[in-house]
Each structure stands twice: as structure tokens, then as C-alpha cells.
Structure 1
Amino acid sequence: MTCAPLIALIDGPLAAETPGLAARMDLCRLHPRAAESPAALHASHMAAAIRANAPGARFLGLSIFPGRLATSLATVAEALRLAAESEAEIVHCSFGHAEASPLLTEAVAAVLAAGKRLVASAPARGAPVYPAGCDGVLSVQGDARCAPGQWSRLDLPGARFGACPGGPGARVRGASLAAAHFTGLLARACKDGGAGEMLQAPSFTGRERIGAGGPHAA
């Protein structure tokens, strides 16, 4: 087996005591109480969901949210470029911008050109968001069929994959957490040397449908 992969987590500020935190870079001026902010809470839940499937995963925390969950496109692009230049094997983005832009597209391309996998969350409804909508990105939405250790191949316009959107006691739910679960599964597969094999073996194929018997594949 190879060493646990380094994951560039582009999100809020991770606390110093976060398990697996290798380094943190703040790309915005943090709020004085950032450690208690929605951004820090969101980041901590993403890290925990990733490590639920990949306990040995390590993080390069790239802070783009100063306290609230909002940032500039330029800050996102800078984080992606730093991730591209880092030793991280996987780049994780549990957020999305409503509009594509050359700045973001170029930054995503730099990550992919560096040979890294980029995972991004995509909403189950509505228009595509970015970076999930960029070519080559592993876009993930919530799929209620999936347990935390499962994923689905959806091949929908907005998302290629699905994963568990929640978990026991989770205070953050939806596409953000689903993407984090997927990143954890990918990190575990990378550690075991079989990321390509993992992506060929989904737990479910086809979009989720809700009927009288509960969620099932189309």
C-alpha cells in the first residue's frame, strides 16, 4: 500500500487540532472569531466526512471563507492554483459558483494538468455550478440510496457521481457532504493503489428515483 494521500481542502479554516492537518494557508483575511464561524464548522465537517472513509487522509487546508460561506472568484482561483502546485493528490471543493468564468476554468485546468483529481459538489436541482461543471472535474451530488461507504454513477448533466448526503449526527447535509464522502472513498482507493478500479465499481448506476418503495435506480 502507498501512503495516505494529501488532500487540498479548499474551504473554511481548519482548526489546528484537526486530525490529519498537515498545513494550512489562509487566502483571505479571517474574521476575528473565524474559529467559531459557519466556515470553520463547514470545513470541519468536510474533513471528518473525508476521514470517515479514509482515516489516514492528510489535509492541506486552503482557507477561502473568512467566516461566512462566501468568497471571491479570484480567491477560489488562487486556491486552485496553489493546490495545483502542491503535493496534494486530490483537490476538494464543497462549494460552487453560479457562473463559469475564464479565470476559474484556467485554474481548474491547471489542477488537472498537474495530474490531480478534483472533486466538487453539485446541487441535485437547478443550473450547473462551478467548478463542478468544468470539464474533467469529478462532480458529486447527494444520492439517498448511498450509505457513507457507497457511491453511484449518475452521468447526469449536473453531476457524474452521487454519494451519501448525510450521516449520523451530521449538522451539514446535501451535496457538500456527499462530495466529501466521495473524496474519502477516492482517497482510500488511492492509498490502496486502485482509484481507477474504484471508479469502475459503483454501488448504484443511473439516477435516483423516489417512489412508493423508496429510492431506487432508474
Structure 2
Amino acid sequence: MRQPALIALIDGPLAADTPGLAARRDMCALHPRAAGSPADRHASRMAAAIRANAPEAQLLGFSIFPGRLSTALATVAEALRHAAASEAAIVHCSFGHGEASPVLAEAVAAVLAAGKLLVASAPARGAPVYPAGCAGVLSVQGDARCAPGQWSRLDLPGARYGACPGSPGTPVRGASLAAAHFTGLLARACMEDGIEAMLQTPSFTGRERIGPGGPQAA
């Protein structure tokens, strides 16, 4: 088995006792009550979903949400540039901006030029979001066919891959959680047979559709 993968998680502030947390860098001034905030809870759930598929993975947290789940594009770009310069093999973004931005595109390009994988969440409906919409990014949306250890090859305009969106009634579900599950699968593949081998064996291929018996392949 290879060394545990290091993942740059760009999200809210991870608590010091988060399992697998190697280090945290705050890209913004945090709210005095950031602990227990929506940003804190979102980040911790993304970290847990990643490590559900790769328990040995290590996390490098980049805090871009001070408390609320909103931030400036400049803060996102700075976090991406820091992630590009880090030793992380995978950079994870469970968020999206509604408009393409040259600043964001340049930061994404820096991550990819550094030889890293960049995973980002993409909504199942509506216009593209960024960084998922940037060239070279592994864009992921929720696919109800997928269990936590499964993924799908969709090749849709908004998302190339699908993964488990979480169970009904869970605090966070949808594209954000699906992307985190997919990142965990990539991290596990890094430590086992390699990512190229993983990407040859999707659990499902093609668009999800809802039939009389539930979600089906198109």
C-alpha cells in the first residue's frame, strides 16, 4: 500500500480534533463563534465523507468561510494558489460560484499545472458553477444510484461524474456530499491500485433517470 493521500479541503474551518487533520490555514478572518457555525459543520461533514472511503487520508484544511457559507472570489483564489503550492495530491471544493471568473480560472490552472487533481461539486440542475465548470476539473453531482462506495461516469454538460448524495434526512446531502465521497474514492485509489485503474470501473454509466422502480441508468 502506498502512503496515505494528503487532501487539501477548501471549506470552512476544521476543528483541531478533526480525524486526519494534518494542518489548517485560515484564508480569512474567522467569526469569533466560528466553532459550531454553518461553515464549521459543513467542513466537518465533508471531511467525514472523504474519510468514509479513505480512512487513512490526511487533510490540509484551507478555511475560506468565516462562519456563514459565503466568501469572496479572491479568498477562494488565494486558497487554490496555496493548495497548488502544497504537497496535497487532491484539492477538494464542495462549493460553486455562479459566474466564470478569470481570477478563479487562473487559480484553478495553477492547481492543475502543479499536477494535482481538483474535485468540485456541480448541481444536478441549473447553470454551470465554478470551479466545477473550469476545464480539467473533476466535476461531481449527486447520483441516487450510488451507495457511499460507488461512483458513476455521467459525461453530462454540468458534471462528468456522479457519486452518493447522502441519505434522505441527513443534515447535508446533494452535490457537496457527492463530491466529498468521490474525493475519498480517489484518495483510496491513490493508496491502492491507482486512480487510472479506478476510473476504468464505474458502478454506473450514463445519465441517471427515475423509472417505476427508482433510479436507473439511461
Q: What band does the TM-score fall into relative to the shorter chain?
A: over 0.9
What runs of 5+ residues in structure 2 fail to find an aligned partner? none
1:211 CA drift (Å): 1.4
Equivalent-residue separation in structure 2 for 1:115 and 1:200 (angstroms): 20
Distance 1:168 1:141 in 2: 16
* Structure 1 residues not aligned, in runs of 5+: none
Match of 1:144 in 2: 144
Q: Is the 8 A contact 1:165 1:174 kept in 2?
A: yes
Offset, 1:55:
0.2
TM-score calculated relative to the size of structure 1: 0.98
Task: Work out whether residues 12 and 42 of structure 1, in 8 Å CA contact, stay in contact via their aligned partners in 2.
Answer: yes
Match of residue 122 from structure 2 = 122
1:45-194 correspondence to structure 2 within 5 Å? 45-167=45-167, 170-194=170-194
* SS, match of residue 123 in structure 1: coil
Structure 1: 4+ residue segments shifted above 6 A = none
RMSD after superposition: 0.9
Deviation at 1:170, TM superposition (A): 3.2
Compare 31-40 and 163-172 and name the one that shifted more: 163-172
1:44 paired with 2:44, answer yes
Q: Does 1:21 align with 2:30?
A: no
* Equivalent residues of 1:21, 1:60 under 8 A apart: yes
For residues 93-121 of structure 1, give each alpha carbon's deviation from its aligned partner in whole angstroms, at most 9, with x where no partner exists. 00000001110000000000000000000
Aligned AA (2:56): G
Contact 1:148 1:167 (8 Å CA) reproduced: no
Give TM-score, length-normalised by structure 2. 0.98
Deviations 1:150-195 (A, max 9, x none): 0000000000000000048731100000000000000000011411
Task: Give the SS at the match of 1:35.
Answer: coil
CA contact (8 A) 1:138 1:161 kept: yes
> How many residue pairs are counted as aligned between the two chains?
218
2:91, 2:141 → 1: CA distance?
A: 16
Which one is further off, 192-201 or 13-22?
Answer: 192-201
Q: Which residue of 1 aligns with 2:215?
A: 215
Looking at structure 2, the residues matched to 24 and 170 of structure 1 have their Cα atoms a distance apart, in angstroms, of 26
Alpha-carbon contact 1:2-1:193 (below 8 Å) kept:
no
One-letter amino acid of the structure 1 residue matched with residue 77 of structure 2: A
